Amino acid sequence: MMGSLTLHKLPIIDFTNENLKPGTASWSKTCKEVISALEEYGCFVASYDKISLELSDGVFHALEELFNLPTEIKVQNRSTKPLYGYVGQIPFIPLYESMGIDDANTLQGIQSFTKVMWPNGNYVFSEKLLPYTKLAAELEQTVVRMVFDSYGVEKYYDSHIKSANYLCRVMKYREAKINESKMGFVSHTDKDFISTIHQNQVNGLEIKAKDGEWFGVELSSSSSIIVMAGDAIMAWSNNRIPSPHHRVTMEGKEARYSIAQFSFMEKIVQTPEELIDEEHPLQYKPFDHLKYLEFYSKEENRRLESAIRTYCGV
Ligand SMILES: O=C(O)CCC(=O)C(=O)O
Ligand SMILES: [Fe+2]
């Protein structure tokens, strides 16, 4: 039946306006678009012209150079957070390889990663990556501010941002060979507060809508960034904002590179009392974000239907 072919499409929200400041008309208009996209899909596409074609190309050239390093070097990638070290050659997803960069939006964070990968230095790598990771963090903070404003809890914004840190995961998905599975990344929800994802010109990310339908995200511009809710904002928002299931499928013949930045809280994540009432009883107990990540990193917790619900659901 034609009716079962629901054609989902992620909303595209314009963040290019220089005057996008709290209190302005364009701010309130964008807040409404952000909240409605997040409550419906748990994600949207931000059109962010500060990410120029040149900047975006620079990032992906840097990633090509990084992934071309010998495996003996890449395996040295370690992160202070579980699950974010070097991942390559997983038997059931051979297409996928990734590395994690702690405090990726700071010069010091990028430099300490660079020192591990290129002991003799690689100035160009941080020069290409840092402008991007800074802009991605800036975009994340604008979105968080819009969410807090929209829910009338802006008074918690400053302390929230103060405790946020940004971990970046860079990824390479090679093409699937004939007779090989096209699976690039298994279905999951992100464990952070908000993720921002940028990709080279190769599509492949798929999102599960509330009705259970999977749909692909097709990006055509180098200034597009996917903004996605993680489990932490789902709990914080008392289930107003879902963390969507998503996966990567590799259809074409070209390698896909992506760069995802995850925000983590260095304090207890707690649903504001303003978001709890008779109609919306509390769904999650306050929880330590990093302990949640440790919980999820344990093999036996990876297959849970909802790790966050099991971890701190009321
Ligand atoms: O490569 C992508 O587009 C998504 C990657 C992803 O979902 C993740 O790293 O959590
Ligand atoms: Fe993800």
* Binding site membership of 260 for ligand 1 (Cβ less than 6 Å): yes
DSSP 284: B
Q: Pick the residue whose CA is nearest to atom 3 on ligand 1.
A: 205
Interacting residues of 291 by C-beta distance below 8 A, sequence separation 6+: none
Ligand 1 atom closest to the Cα of residue 98 is 9
CATH no. of 12-312:
2.60.120.330
Question: pLDDT tens digits for 21-48?
Answer: 999 999 999 999 999 999 999 999 999 9
Mean pLDDT, all residues of the chain? 95
Among 197, 208, 296, residue to substitute to test ligand 1 (most atoms within 8 Å of Cβ)? 197
List the Cα angle 255/260/266 in 5-degree steps: 155
pLDDT of residue 10: 96
* Binding site membership of 289 for ligand 1 (Cβ less than 6 Å): no
* Binding site membership of 190 for ligand 1 (Cβ less than 6 Å): yes
Mean pLDDT of 80-89: 87
Question: pLDDT tens digits for 248-290?
Answer: 999 999 999 999 999 999 999 999 999 999 999 999 999 999 9
CA 293 to ligand 2 center in whole angstroms: 14
* Binding site membership of 199 for ligand 1 (Cβ less than 6 Å): yes
DSSP 105: T
Ligand nearest to the CA of 189: 2
**Dihedral of the CA atoms 81, 86, 88, 90 (nearest 10)?**
-30
* Binding site membership of 139 for ligand 1 (Cβ less than 6 Å): no
DSSP 173-207: EPPPPTTS--EEEEEE---SSEEEEEE-S---EEE
CA 174 to ligand 1 center in whole angstroms: 14
- Which pTM does this prediction carry? 0.96
The residue ranges of every structural domain in the chain are: 12-312
pLDDT of residue 4: 56
Please, are residues 227 and 46 in contact by the beta-carbon 8 Å criterion? Answer: yes
pLDDT of residue 77: 92
* Binding site membership of 59 for ligand 1 (Cβ less than 6 Å): no
Chain position carrying tokens 């150079």: 65
ipTM greater than 0.95: yes
